[in-house]
Amino acid sequence: MASPRSSNKTKKVATPEQHRLNFARRALICSSVLALLCSPALGKSDWVEGDVNELRVPKGTDMPIDNDVDAPRLPKHSASPERHAHDSFTPPPGTVVKDVSDAGGIELGPNGQPRRSSAPLEAHISAVGTSSNFQAPGIDAQAASLLMQAPMYAIPKTTAVSPKSFRAWLDETHPGLSAKITKDEIVEVKGQWDDSAHALRSFGLPFTRVTGQRFAEVNLEKTKVVIVNCAGELPNEALLSLRRFVAMGGSLVTTDWALSGVLQKAFPGYVTWNGGFTANRVVDAVEVARDETDLLANTPPVAHWKLDNKSQTVKINRPGPVKVLVRSRMLMREDPDNLGVLAFTLSYGNGQILHLVGHFDNNSELAFNNALPDPAPGIDISLRQAITANFLARALQQKDSTESQSASTGNADGEASPERAMQK
């Protein structure tokens, strides 16, 4: 017969009452843990589920790139404006690129802006929802998708690009344009920091150069496009003349500090300088306006963009008339609005404006030479210069602005006439 001590080693069988008691104990423990996790005292969690990252990446943090990989040299694109660059852009086989989700990306919300959260940097970019009603051109869900899908190329090396390359691109994209225009059709307003005259000469486009102080005296009857260089310091009379010129159908190009110097003053309420400055560097550039086939003709959808020291970042106040053409994921970290806008157009009255964050000239630090710090894949010249040349070509091929209706009764948005709005 077994002893009482040895019988204790045999396994006991739980009764139904004991099973119910154990289940009740487990349920009590689970409810206590759930209540603790939901307590507001814990604050926000740093836990990341799956590939979702809702981090606002700290300013000054660069996007991941592969410094050993150059952007692919692509075959020349068709010059037809009907073809958009996005439709035929395919990197050559074997090209190694790094997507923004490879190592520490950002998640963009439906409006194209980074989401705010405290998730770790290592998380990947999540898909962007399309439920938002915010569909402003260039900063909508489609633009956010283009930004996420675009590869991140290594920063290109500064290259010497001769005027021959500029003119070859222009002749391919807009055959015979330079021979059809006169110097009265392009007026360049001399600036302190940018020198668009250098780029115009490289393209072989004739132009007339004036100072800001004398611009109000210029007869713009034959002029189709005006270029205002950074810093855009114009007297009030010049701003009034410029506003009237655009409202009546003329085209305007502004660069860098002309954002606050010209656009904010002559065309108030549309865009403003948001107080941010850029560093002197080359950043990534992604085209985000698929429907602008003429402005993006013969350009790659992903390239680079030279920013100058303290270039002004942009705040979009009225997304309807303002259409963003190009944005940068690297610039988002320096931009207080987290949009990273590099170029946009503004429709005003019967005319249109193109603004560049940065300069039209090759390189402000190396004036009067052919050094180009941001050559674009497949076209040799830079993306910012190609887009500006396309804008000029469109303006030059339109009817004379003098044939447009007078803007004295107001602009396209029903605002007061330029004369009344500019009076102090």
Q: Is residue 12 part of a domain?
A: no
Could you give the CA distance from residue 237 to residue 262 in angstroms, rounded to a whole number? 12
What pLDDT does 118 receive? 37
What pLDDT does 137 receive? 82
Least Cα distance to 347 among 254, 423, 246, 219 occurs for 246
89 pLDDT band (50/70/90 cuts)? very low
As a whole number, mean pLDDT of residues 311-318 equals 96
Could you give the CA distance from residue 91 to residue 97 in angstroms, rounded to a whole number? 9
Note the Cα 342 to chain centre separation in Å: 4
What pLDDT does 139 receive? 92
What pLDDT does 21 receive? 58
Q: Is residue 205 part of a domain?
A: yes
Query: Does 104 have pLDDT greater than 90?
Result: no
380's torsion region: left (phi>0), alpha (psi -120 to 50) or beta?
Answer: left
What pLDDT does 223 receive? 97
* Percentage of the residues of the chain whose pLDDT score is greater than 70: 61
For 174, the domain range is 156-422
Query: Does 99 have pLDDT greater than 80?
Result: no
Could you give the CA distance from residue 92 to residue 77 in angstroms, rounded to a whole number? 14
What pLDDT does 246 receive? 98
123 pLDDT band (50/70/90 cuts)? very low
What pLDDT does 235 receive? 95
Could you give the CA distance from residue 295 to residue 77 in angstroms, rounded to a whole number? 14
Least Cα distance to 361 among 117, 174, 191, 151 occurs for 191
The model's pLDDT over 7-49, given as tens digits with 9 standing for 90+, comes to 444 444 556 666 555 655 665 555 554 444 444 433 333 323 2
Of 115-129, 152-166, 207-221, 393-407, the poorest mean pLDDT is in 115-129
Those residues with Cβ within 8 angstroms of residue 360's Cβ, 6 or more apart along the chain or in another chain: 194, 196, 199, 227, 229, 253, 255, 384, 385, 388
Q: Are 224 and 185 in contact (CB under 8 A)?
A: yes
**Residue 139, both tokens:** 């900063």
Q: Are 205 and 231 in contact (CB under 8 A)?
A: no
Classify each residue of 17-43 as buried b or exposed e, where b means 16 or more C-beta atoms within 10 Å of its C-beta: eeeeeeeeeeeeeeeeeeeeeeeeeee
- Rounded mean pLDDT of the chain? 75
Could you give the CA distance from residue 189 to residue 242 in angstroms, rounded to a whole number? 11
Domain of 361, CATH number, reads 3.40.50.880
The model's pLDDT over 332-371, given as tens digits with 9 standing for 90+, comes to 999 999 999 999 999 999 999 999 999 999 876 655 578 9
Q: Is residue 131 part of a domain?
A: no
Amino acid at 14: A
Residue 100, SS3 per DSSP: coil
Could you give the CA distance from residue 228 to residue 59 in angstroms, rounded to a whole number? 31
Q: Is residue 26 part of a domain?
A: no
Q: Is residue 102 part of a domain?
A: no
Q: Find where tokens 């069988």 sit.
A: 13
Could you give the CA distance from residue 146 to residue 127 in angstroms, rounded to a whole number? 12
Between CA 148 and CA 156, with CA 152 as vertex, the angle to 5 degrees is 150
Q: Is residue 104 part of a domain?
A: no
CA dist 319 to 147, 315, 323, Å? 18, 10, 7
398 pLDDT band (50/70/90 cuts)? confident
What pLDDT does 363 receive? 75
Those residues with Cβ within 8 angstroms of residue 215's Cβ, 6 or more apart along the chain or in another chain: 187, 189, 234, 238, 241, 242
Could you give the CA distance from residue 27 to residue 22 in angstroms, rounded to a whole number? 9
What pLDDT does 27 receive? 56
What pLDDT does 181 receive? 94
Could you give the CA distance from residue 167 to residue 205 in angstroms, rounded to a whole number? 9
Query: Does 385 have pLDDT greater than 70?
Result: yes
Residue 64 burial by CB count (10 A; 0-12/13-18/19+): exposed, middle or buried? middle
Could you give the CA distance from residue 228 to residue 242 in angstroms, rounded to a whole number? 10
The 8-class DSSP code of residue 109 comes to -
* Percentage of the residues of the chain whose pLDDT score is greater than 90: 57
Q: Is residue 122 part of a domain?
A: no
pTM passes above 0.75: no
What pLDDT does 154 receive? 94
Residue 362, SS3 per DSSP: coil
Q: Is residue 98 part of a domain?
A: no
The more confident residue out of 390 and 57 is: 390
The model's pLDDT over 280-313, given as tens digits with 9 standing for 90+, comes to 999 999 999 978 999 999 999 999 999 999 999 9
Q: How many domains does the chain have?
A: 1
Q: How many CB atoms lie within 10 A of CB 277?
A: 15
Could you give the CA distance from residue 362 to residue 374 in angstroms, rounded to a whole number? 9
Could you give the CA distance from residue 222 to residue 250 in angstroms, rounded to a whole number? 10
Query: Does 3 have pLDDT greater than 50?
Result: no
How crowded is the C-beta side of 181, counted as CA atoms within 13 Å? 30
